[in-house]
Amino acid sequence: GKYPEGMTLIEEVLRYREQKKQSEFLDPRRVDEDGRFRASYSFRPTTGRLSSSSNPRGTGGNAQNIDRGLRGPFKPDAECLLLEVDLSQAEARVDYCLTGNKKLIEIAHTRPSEFDVHKYLATLFFPVTLENVTKNERTPTKNIGHGSHYDLHLNKLSELMLKQGYDFSPKQCGVMQGKYWDFTEGAIQAWQQRTRMDVLRDRALTNAWGRTIEWPWDHFGDDLYRKAYAWRPQSDIARHLNYAWMQFDGWLRRGEYKSKINLQLHDALIVSVYPEELWNVMNVLVHVCEQPHMYYGERLVIPAEIKLGTAWGLGDVGEWKEMPMREEAEACVEALSSEQG
């Protein structure tokens, strides 16, 4: 904030980079002749996450890291709506279970409709009330929490903020991080210390699903420890979502439903759903995503948030923090049909 002219220049550079990136992504050659964007998927062996890239024909691309501003052109199949079911703050909930801290574990069990931890933290970082928290306060707060969990250094945090258009110096990030440490009662730092000791002793970690990773030859140091902090929550959520995906896909096939899965993100599934199948599809997809599992001594249900729209990310038909009543969901679809009719 000391150099407004510099920040104006940085904003222009960021805008140019973003527009250049978008123009490259929107190259018509990425789309097949039938209008579909097809990616090639592979597993990341360390975490079990899926990663995507261009398909063997050279079209498509990374389907899991598409700019939010470019999601609108992605439409559902003909006669369908696009249903997105997202695991709410999934990695953070696992992190909180790993700490063993009573307050953080209680937050891990709390549904987003009841309490938004990022909004609450924003009131500690900025002069704003809970009711008036906007994206401009919530997003930096989310970055501070996520970056702190995985030991992202203050210079890197500041750089991450700047890429998103937020002007926070490393010192300012440090102040916010200090408040976050106070909020977590030092439990995140204690968990990180235990993780380092586990790696030093065993050169291995085991996640909540019984999967083990080993680092037999890696040098001890910050790079290895950061990998270790991130591995359990990332591999846990990858296993959780992949299992839900397989169950849901099997259910669709057995029931001979016409709806189909279009995309898997790291913590979400996106489905082209026919209106007459909506309730059953939504109900089952939320159910398999919210199946409880023992995460480090806690039987945790990771809540699913729901978005229904005429395009990816639009949510113009309906958005819910938890499973709606059938009448409410069907009324939203009927309202859309009336508008279009």
pLDDT per position as a tens digit, 108-161: 999 999 999 999 999 999 999 999 999 889 999 999 999 999 999 999 999 888
Indicate the average pLDDT of the chain.
91
Quick one: average pLDDT of 73-94? 94
Give the contacts of 247 (CB within 8 A, at least 6 positions apart): 288
Residue 201's pLDDT is 96
Scanning the structure block, which residue is given the tokens 């106070």?
A: 182
Q: Flag whether pLDDT at 166 surpasses 60.
A: yes
For the chain, how many residues are written?
341
Residue 242's pLDDT is 94
Query: What are the tokens at 38?
Result: 């097809």
> Using CA atoms, how far apart are residues 207 and 46, in angstroms rounded to an integer?
12
Q: Which of 82-86, 166-170, 189-193, 303-307 has the lowest mean pLDDT?
A: 166-170
Q: Flag whether pLDDT at 62 surpasses 90.
A: no
Query: What are the tokens at 333?
Result: 């679809």
CA-wise closest residue to 7 among 167, 140, 169: 167
92: left (phi over 0), alpha (psi -120 to 50) or beta: alpha
Residue 15's pLDDT is 80
Quick one: average pLDDT of 257-279? 94
> Using CA atoms, how far apart are residues 175 and 319, in angstroms rounded to an integer?
35
pLDDT in tens, 15-28: 888 788 777 777 88
Q: Tell me the DSSP string of 284-331.
A: HHHHHHT--EEETTEEE---EEEEEESSTTT--SEEESSPPPHHHHHH
Question: What angle do helix axes 154-163 and 4-25 make, rounded to 10 degrees?
Answer: 70
Give the residue, 136 or 69, on which the prediction is more confident.
136
Residue 90's pLDDT is 95
Residue 221's pLDDT is 94
Scanning the structure block, which residue is given the tokens 């409880």?
A: 292
Q: Flag whether pLDDT at 1 surpasses 60.
A: no
Q: Flag whether pLDDT at 215 surpasses 90.
A: yes
Relative to beta strand 304-309, strand 81-87 is: antiparallel
Residue 341's pLDDT is 60
Residue 193's pLDDT is 97
Query: What are the tokens at 70?
Result: 């470019």
Q: Flag whether pLDDT at 72 surpasses 90.
A: no
Q: Which of 81-85, 200-204, 313-317 has the lowest mean pLDDT?
A: 313-317
> Using CA atoms, how far apart are residues 321 and 140, in angstroms rounded to an integer?
22
Residues above pLDDT 90, as percent of the chain: 71
Grade residue 75 by pLDDT with cuts at 50, 70 and 90: very high
Q: Flag whether pLDDT at 2 surpasses 70.
A: no
The answer to whether residues 208 and 236 touch, using CB atoms and an 8 Å cutoff, is yes
Q: Which amino acid is at 288?
A: V
Query: What are the tokens at 121?
Result: 């933290």
Q: Flag whether pLDDT at 338 surpasses 80.
A: no
Residue 290's pLDDT is 97
Residue 266's pLDDT is 85
Q: Flag whether pLDDT at 285 surpasses 90.
A: yes
> Using CA atoms, how far apart are residues 58 and 184, in angstroms rounded to an integer?
47
